[in-house]
Amino acid sequence: MQPNDVNLTVDFLGLRLRNPLALTEGPLTGSADRIRRAAGHSIGIMFTKGIRPQPATSPNPFIAKTGRRSLMNADWSDIGFEQWLKDLEELRDRDFFLVASIAKNYVTPPVAADMAEEIAQCGPDAISLVDYDPDDLIRAVKLARPRVKLPLMVKLCPFMPRLEEVLKELVEAGIDGVAAMDSIGPVLAVDVETGLPSMGSEDGSGYLSGEAIKPVMVKYVYEISRFVDLPVVGVGGVSKAEDVVEVTMVGATVVGMVTAPLLHGLGVFDRVEKQLRKHLADRDVADINSLRGLTHRKVAEAGMRYDARAVIDPQKCENCGLCVRVCFKQAPLEEDGSTRIQIERCVGCGLCVSVCPQKAITLIC
């Protein structure tokens, strides 16, 4: 199969997207001109920066790299509601999909519903409400739903309590989709030369995004898609084709990125789309939609195992010694120029499998 034969189109909120990639809320979608600039890339759908009633000035500095491929931010929308209405009007004539995202956490549910109704008149394809407080979010959806004909979705913050129950109420209130998740916070990082926090916010704290948060998001999407039969947007730490496949397998229809394009440029969307086509073509997967929810099915089939042990394929092993170094049971043994597992010592923890650069180790029952 050729990469160009792979179907990447996905159906989301009644729209057919060219691919599952989304540029979600952040500085790259912070105004009409920034959104138009991003539209030149291989992006299936965009989400505006969180729209709030008043513009806010972010204290400097408000974005910093922290750890590998991760960021901290304390970044607020520098344009307010009235300006956003003008920007959305300006974007009415467009050839890309756009969700208007409301930073619900800054307003009461009735104000959020008013904002949603007005924003809906300006021609976005859908509206999303973002909040930390589940009860407030449910109230806002209940008020907005009868007043907005467009698809209405919510974006959840990490570690939402009572997830199953909250999702049930949101579905009953009439949402059409769910995104997970916002950045994780508040978190703190300190410059050890100056002792100052890396963010200029009041207490120096900010919100964490990027590679560091990806496993939290993957678990979140997995859980959400167990509980609701609605399209899910997975966003958090995605930067490459394998990540998109992983997030699709746990149930996402759309996969978002913000930190990756901030760190590596908007061209990351073009690269990921290309890599994704090749990744799927190499594995004879003709349609990305066929992978959705695969992990749920596999988990149900696999059950739990307690008798697996590591085995090294001598054809692949290059005796790099990494498995010897990481094994806390000292099961791998380097002898006469080759490495083997002393099976009586192995407990099948799997660490050597995950670190082996040659993929020479497997767990076998």
Ligand X SMILES: Cc1cc2nc3c(=O)[nH]c(=O)nc-3n(C[C@H](O)[C@H](O)[C@H](O)COP(=O)(O)O)c2cc1C
Residues binding ligand X: what is the number (CB under 6 A)?
28
Binding of ligand X at residue 50 (CB under 6 A)?
yes
Residues 234-273 that bind ligand X (CB under 6 A): 235-238, 257-260
C-alpha distances in Å from residue 320, one per residue of 334, 342, 353: 10, 17, 13
Residue 105 in contact with ligand X, rule: CB under 6 A: no
Give min distance, CB of 306 to ligand X, in A: 35
Task: Tell me which stretch binds ligand X (CB under 6 A): 33-41, 107-115, 205-213, 328-336.
Answer: 205-213
From the list 25-33, 186-194, 308-316, 337-345, the region that binds ligand X by CB under 6 A is 25-33
Query: Quick check: 73 binds ligand X (CB under 6 A)?
Result: yes
Cβ closer to ligand X: 26 or 151? 26
CA distance 189 to 60: 15
Question: Could you say whether residue 75 binds ligand X (CB under 6 A)?
Answer: yes
Q: Looking at beta carbons only, is 201 or 259 nearer to ligand X? A: 259
**Total residue count of the chain as it appears in this document:** 365
Q: How far is the CB of 210 from ligand X (least distance, A)?
A: 5
What value, to the nearest 5°, has the Cα angle with vertex 50 and ends 45 and 53? 140
Residue 187: how many CB atoms within 10 A of its CB? 16
Spatial separation of the C-alpha atoms in residues 180 and 166, rounded to whole Å: 14
Decide: 251 and 298 in contact? Cβ < 8 Å: no
| Amino acid (one-letter) located at 77 | S
27 touches ligand X by CB under 6 A: yes
Residues 30-49 binding ligand X (CB under 6 A) are: 49
d(CA 51, CA 256): 18
Q: Can residue 104 be called a binding residue for ligand X (CB under 6 A)?
A: no
Backbone angles phi, psi at 53, to 5 degrees: -60, -45
- Compare residues 49 and 277 and give the one whose CB is closer to ligand X: 49
H/E stretch holding 46 reads strand 45-47
The nearer residue to ligand X, 236 or 332, going by C-beta atoms, is: 236
**Integer Cα distance of 335 and 42 in angstroms:** 51
Contact residues for ligand X (CB under 6 A)?
24-27, 49-50, 63, 71, 73, 75, 77, 101, 103, 130, 155, 182-183, 209-210, 213, 235-238, 257-260
